[in-house]
Each structure stands twice: as structure tokens, then as C-alpha cells.
Amino acid sequence: MATKRKPSSRRTRRPYTVPVLGEDVRLARSTGQGYLLLHDAERGCKAKRYVGKLVEQDADGNPIGDPFPEAKERAARIIAEFRATSGGDPRPGKPEPLTVRQLAKSYLDERASEKSDDQLWHDQSALAVAIELYGNQEASQFGPLALRSVRKLMIDSGRLNRRTVNDRVARIVAAFAWAVSFEMIASEVLVALQTVKGLRAGRRDGLREPTPVRPVDDEDIEAVLPLLSPQLAAIIQVMRHSGARCGEVIQLRPCDLEQTADGLLYRPPSHKNAHRGHERVISLGPRAAQALKPFLLRPADRPCFSPAEAEEARLAARNAARVVPGHVGNVPGSNRSDNPTRVPGETYTTASVRRAIQRACNKLGIPTWTPHQVRHTFGTKTRKTHGIEVAKVLLGHKDFRSTTIYAEADLEKAQSVMREIG
């Protein structure tokens, strides 16, 4: 009689892979080397192509941190050269042409680690329209007429303004430019797409112009703060008194702060212009530092503003205000789902902050405003009291033209001068 085999107590570890150009670079945990599985025509099967050390590992072989750029670059070069010599298909058999859908997926996978969540979302939204119309078409056949058709679909949706349409069309062209750089498609495709010029202002087809972002009144900010969680209220206050972007404040950690004689300096781990090589240093004055102070008592590498902490504090406050005695009715936490559909994350997103503000505005019956308008308020006040040069530095701009967009001119001062000289 055969004996039953005892189940193995060894836990199967999930393979660690890094997407590069639509292919997976796998980690050999025993050596730390990354490798690709590509078809070998001579052997008639898949063979490993090593790309060097892929990522740092701990004592148990688990990956630590981000993959090394050198390994990703070598993998991209191997894949591009392989596709150039094998017809673009890493599998055996008849090579299949690269489709618009495959190009978009490879581009988004490659850019996922380089762009912020907001920028990646804009790329996904732009390419989704191209995939909807031409997803199964060969990327080499995607020309100016196809791009104009995609743009027409964006216009007909009625949801986008002219500037957004131009931006999304430019993102589609950027994806094809990236594919050309890896020799996935011919450069002639990109040259043809670049002949499609952006839409100009003053069109008569009903496409609306972008609405200028206006500063939000201090009264509206003060009215909303009591309806927000302490974490969200502190985020708004830090933005209000520093001019920082919402995406910069939500990722703030104690280790990113530097104490100086004049206050705190904050260097965001990532920001809008990091890919351009620009350094971003945000000065936090006494009022911004005071709003931030209650959230600094935590490990140096943990975000100061956590939705999970906010939800835990909310439930604790609700339990403390409970009228029914604790031994009567449900025990706190007993009616929670073991597998909830949504759980609070470790950090906020720009969209979650915006939604919380809009809900509070709707509850109060006041005009809704966004976190980005708080930055405009700071820029306008700073320009009015200290001039455009100071506003440019505090907003982190490299060009005065950007500052004129964020900081409205002091029309009262202009009218006063005209009363004297006009």
C-alpha cells in the first residue's frame, strides 16, 4: 500500500520579475542575476540571456529596493536586438507584427517606474483612446489620419478642453517616439505623426478652451478644514503656507526634512520636474511647520500623512462617543469584513485629497475648489507682497512665464498707477 506523501512545509516564493519592453526579466535568487527567456533558433527552445545583477537581496534572497538601471538597460538592448534579428517576435514560429496595443503596453510598463502616478494616469488615458480605435492594427501602419481620428474621438467626447486634447495627442506621439528609439518601428512612422499640429485657440467646432485656475479664498479654506481629517487638514495647511504641490506634500517623510536656523527645508523624494534634473527644495515656515509637527513622531522613512492612521483614529473616536455600553450590542470591530473591497493605503493620492475637499464643499453648499488652487493662492499673495522674483523661487519655477500663470498680477496696484499717470 502506497504511503501518502507528506505536504511540504516549504513556502513557494512568488517569482520576482521586472517588465522591460513587454518582456519579463526574471531574478535568479541564488545568484542575484537577472535573465530573459528568449527563443534560441539553433536549439529550437527558449534559452536564458543574463543581464547582470538585477537587484539587491537580503539574507533570505528576497529583493530589496528598486532594480538596477544598468540591468534594465542591458535587457532592453538585448530585447531590441533580438526583435530586430527575429522579426520582432520573441517566440518561435512566424513573427507577428507589433500592434498598437502591444506598443502601448510596453511603453507603459517601461515608464511605470519613471513617472509619477498622475503622469502615468495621463499616459494611460491618452493611449486608451488609440487602443480603442486601432488596438489590433500594426503600429507601423498608424499614421497621421489615424492620429487625427483618435483626436476627433477625444473632441467628440465633450469632456476635454483644447489643451488636454493637445496634451494627450502629444503623449501618443511620445509613445511612438519611444518605440522608434528601441527600433521597434521605423522612424518614418514618427516623422509622419509629427506632421499633425496641435489645435489652436479660437476654433469654431465647439471645443472649449481651458478654464484658468483661480486662487481660492481664505474663507472657503477655513470653512472646509473642520470637516476634514487632521491629516488632510494638515496637508492643506502645509500647502497653504509653503506653496508646495499636493503631490509633494502627501509623500513627505521625516527623513526628507532638514532643520536650519530659519526653519525647515523639505526635499521631496520625487517631484514634477525631477526627470529634467531640477532640484526641488521647499522652505517650510513657522505656520507650515506647526501644522506638520503632530505627524513627525514616526519612523523616519514612513509617510507623515497616512490614510490608515486617519481611519483608525476615526473609528477610535466613534467608539469613544458610543452611547450604548461596551458589553451591549456588537463588539467594536466584530462586524468588519475579513476581505474588504477597499482598505486605507499608506499614503494619500492627489485625487483622494481632491475628492475629500469636494465632498466637504458640497456639504457646506459652497463652490468646490481643488488642492491646486491653494498653490495659486499662495503664489498670488507672495507676488503681491514680495514681488514675482520671490514668488518664482518659492514656487520652484525655472522660468518667470510659469510664475505668471500661477500668480495673478496685482490689478489694484496697476489701477492705482494709472490713476496717477493716466
Cα–Cα dist 179/190, whole Å = 9
pLDDT at 38 over 80: yes
- Position 246 in a domain: yes
Averaged pLDDT for residues 65-73: 86
- Asked if residue 227 and residue 297 are part of one domain, the reply reads yes
E strand or H helix at 415, and its extent? helix 411-421
pLDDT at 95 over 60: no
- Asked if residue 370 and residue 299 are part of one domain, the reply reads yes
Which range in 319-333, 365-379, 396-410 is most confidently predicted, on average pLDDT?
365-379
Q: Which domain holds residue 74?
A: 17-86
- Asked if residue 112 and residue 77 are part of one domain, the reply reads no
Contact 350, 371 (CB under 8 A): yes
Residue recorded with cell 499717470: 421
Q: Residue 334's pLDDT is what? A: 66
Q: Residue 112's pLDDT is what? A: 76
- Asked if residue 184 and residue 69 are part of one domain, the reply reads no
pLDDT at 313 over 90: no
Quick one: cell of 349? 493620492
What does 56-84 look like in DSSP terms, one character per residue?
EE-TTS-EESSPPHHHHHHHHHHHHHHHH
- Position 207 in a domain: no
Cα–Cα dist 29/13, whole Å = 10
Averaged pLDDT for residues 91-102: 69
- Asked if residue 255 and residue 369 are part of one domain, the reply reads yes
Quick one: cell of 225? 478644514
- Position 329 in a domain: no
Quick one: cell of 128? 486608451
- Asked if residue 132 and residue 107 are part of one domain, the reply reads yes
pTM: predicted TM-score of the whole model, two decimal places: 0.62
Q: How many other C-beta atoms lie within 10 A of the C-beta of residue 309?
A: 19
- Position 405 in a domain: no
How distant, in Å, are the alpha carbons of 142, 173, 174, 222 from that of 191? 12, 10, 12, 52
pLDDT at 274 over 70: no
Quick one: cell of 227? 470637516
- Position 233 in a domain: yes
Q: Residue 233's pLDDT is what? A: 94
pLDDT at 92 over 50: no
pLDDT at 411 over 50: yes
- What three-state secondary structure class fits 19? strand
Cα–Cα dist 154/315, whole Å = 43
Mean pLDDT score of the chain? 82
What is the per-residue pLDDT across 158-210, written as a single tens digit (0 to 9) for each?
A: 888 888 999 999 999 999 999 998 888 899 999 999 999 998 887 666 678 88
The packing angle between helices 350-364 and 230-242, to 10°, is 100
Q: Residue 169's pLDDT is what? A: 95
pLDDT band at residue 90 using 50, 70 and 90 as cut-offs: very low
Contact 194, 150 (CB under 8 A): no
E strand or H helix at 263, and its extent? strand 263-266
**CATH at residue 224:** 1.10.443.10
pLDDT band at residue 93 using 50, 70 and 90 as cut-offs: very low
Question: If DSSP states are collapsed to H, E and C, what string results for 23-44?
Answer: EEEEEECCCCEEEEEEEECCCC
11 vs 52, which has greater pLDDT? 52
- Asked if residue 119 and residue 69 are part of one domain, the reply reads no
- Asked if residue 157 and residue 116 are part of one domain, the reply reads yes
- Asked if residue 188 and residue 241 are part of one domain, the reply reads no
Amino acid at 251: Q
- Asked if residue 233 and residue 308 are part of one domain, the reply reads yes
**CATH at residue 123:** 1.10.150.130
Cα–Cα dist 108/118, whole Å = 13
- For the ranges 103-107, 142-146, 336-340, the lowest mean pLDDT is seen at 336-340
| Residue where a domain terminates, one of 61, 86, 111 | 86
Q: Residue 359's pLDDT is what? A: 94
- The tally of domains found in the chain comes to 3
Cα–Cα dist 166/154, whole Å = 10
CB within 8 A of 401, min separation 6: which ones?
none
pLDDT band at residue 94 using 50, 70 and 90 as cut-offs: very low
Which range in 13-22, 48-57, 270-279, 391-400 is most confidently predicted, on average pLDDT?
48-57
Averaged pLDDT for residues 207-215: 80
- Asked if residue 360 and residue 231 are part of one domain, the reply reads yes
Contact 178, 107 (CB under 8 A): yes
Output the CA torsion sign for 385, 387, 388, 391: negative
- Position 205 in a domain: no
Contact 234, 291 (CB under 8 A): yes
pLDDT at 145 over 80: yes
Contact 241, 379 (CB under 8 A): no
Strands 56-57 and 63-64 come out as: antiparallel
317 vs 357, which has greater pLDDT? 357
Averaged pLDDT for residues 263-281: 78
- Asked if residue 297 and residue 373 are part of one domain, the reply reads yes
